[in-house]
């Protein structure tokens, strides 16, 4: 279980300190899919960095399985907004780098990588270079890289932010399928309301900067959530609720 306890973040600027996060508390249970939803610049991504130990929070602490996180943790797979594939490596080698860095048996890593490539529908593209792929395919490879070492925890920082709406929708469905199969813990940052609802077991809604938890909403929709779910009354009710929260915060307004 990943737990954020009174997490606060201050940045030093020329004029003094800017508060990015104030007293944030929430839990991410094992096998849970949690989305963090908030307006741009509210410090959403900072959670992923704090939860991975890449950034230290200035107050409070992040705790993983009872141990405070003080340095980068290793049992994690991180997917960034930009795919961050190495242009000198083929699709397969880009995934295998995970095993190389972790000193794992490369033969096994290779097998797992091939399996993942097949699962995300990129069979036949192993030998291609990143620049030969479309944006969606690149991000799929990036997800494979974050999964190949079978991490318990996955951090996804607006991974579909740069993709078009159609690709996004498909990626969303595929991600859920993969998660139902692997049952790992996912912390997913997004600013897309529909995406947040459709993926999550639990949405953490953040306020604009300085980021605070506005509300935590449990999502109780049957899985797998196919394209039709979007027309269901339950989904629309959730969407209405989230939209109202955003209107209340003044991020969305009608005039």
Partner 1 sequence: MEKRFTKNKMLLKWLKILNILKESIPGICSVCGVIVIWEVSVRFFEIPSYILPSPSDSIKALIQYWDYIKINLFTTLYEIGVGFGATVVISIPIATMISYSRIFEKTLYPFMVFLQLIPKVAIGPLFVVWFGFGMMPKILMVFLLSFFPLLMDTVAGLKSLNGRLYYMARTMSESEWKFYWKIKLPNALPSIFSGLKTSISMATVGAVVAEFLGSDSGLGYLLLRANGDINTRLLFAILIVLCLMGMIFFGIVEIIEKKVIPWHVSQRVTEKSGK
Interface residues toward partner 1, by CB under 8 A: 49, 52, 54, 72-74, 76-78, 80, 82, 84, 86-89, 97-98, 100-103, 128-129, 131-132
Burial class (CB in 10 A: 0-12, 13-18, 19+), 231: exposed
Least CB distance from residue 90 to partner 1, whole Å? 9
The verdict on whether omega for the bond into residue 167 sits within 30 degrees of 0, i.e. cis, is no
Query: Which of 100, 150 has the CB closer to partner 1?
Result: 100
Bridge partners for 190 per DSSP: 37
The single residue listed with the structure tokens 């999964």 is: 147
Query: Which of 93, 194 has the CB closer to partner 1?
Result: 93
Query: Which of 82, 111 has the CB closer to partner 1?
Result: 82
Least CB distance from residue 132 to partner 1, whole Å? 5
Least CB distance from residue 73 to partner 1, whole Å? 8
Q: Is 73 left (phi over 0), alpha (psi -120 to 50) or beta?
A: beta
Query: Which of 52, 207 has the CB closer to partner 1?
Result: 52
Angle ∠(5,143,135) on CA atoms, nearest 5: 120
CA-to-CA dists, residue 190 to 41, 63, 100, 107, 133, angstroms: 11, 22, 30, 35, 24
Least CB distance from residue 254 to partner 1, whole Å? 37
Phi, psi of 205 (to 5 degrees): -95, 125
Least CB distance from residue 85 to partner 1, whole Å? 10
Query: Which of 106, 227 has the CB closer to partner 1?
Result: 106
Q: Which of 253, 242, 235, 237 is nearest to 38 (CA)?
A: 242
Least CB distance from residue 220 to partner 1, whole Å? 32
Query: Which of 15, 103 has the CB closer to partner 1?
Result: 103
Query: Which of 83, 225 has the CB closer to partner 1?
Result: 83
CA separation for the pair 151, 87 (Å, rounded): 24
CB 95 within 8 A of CB 145: yes
Least CB distance from residue 249 to partner 1, whole Å? 29
Burial class (CB in 10 A: 0-12, 13-18, 19+), 145: buried
């Amino acid at each position: 279980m990943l737990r954020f306890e009174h997490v606060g973040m201050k940045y030093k600027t020329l004029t003094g300190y800017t508060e990015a996060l104030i007293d944030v508390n929430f839990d991410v249970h094992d096998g849970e899919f949690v989305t963090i939803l908030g307006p741009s610049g509210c410090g959403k991504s900072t959670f992923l960095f704090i939860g991975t130990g890449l950034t230290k929070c200035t107050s409070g602490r992040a705790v993983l399985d009872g141990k405070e996180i003080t340095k980068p943790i290793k049992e994690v797979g991180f997917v960034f907004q930009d795919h961050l594939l190495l242009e000198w490596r083929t699709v397969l080698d880009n995934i295998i780098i995970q095993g190389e860095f972790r000193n794992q048996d490369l033969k096994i890593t290779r097998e797992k990588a091939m399996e993942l490539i097949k699962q995300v529908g990129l069979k036949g593209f192993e030998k291609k270079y990143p620049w030969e792929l479309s944006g969606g395919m690149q991000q799929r490879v990036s997800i494979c890289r974050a999964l190949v070492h079978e991490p318990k925890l996955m951090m996804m920082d607006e991974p579909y932010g740069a993709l078009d709406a159609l690709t996004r929708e498909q990626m969303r469905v595929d991600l859920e399928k993969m998660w139902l199969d692997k049952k790992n813990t996912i912390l997913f940052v997004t600013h897309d309301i529909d995406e947040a609802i459709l993926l999550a077991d639990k949405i953490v809604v953040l306020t604009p900067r300085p980021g605070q938890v506005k509300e935590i909403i449990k999502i109780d929709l049957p899985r797998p959530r196919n394209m039709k779910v979007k027309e269901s009354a339950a989904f629309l009710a959730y969407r209405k609720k989230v939209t109202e929260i955003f209107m209340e915060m003044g991020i969305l307004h009608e005039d």
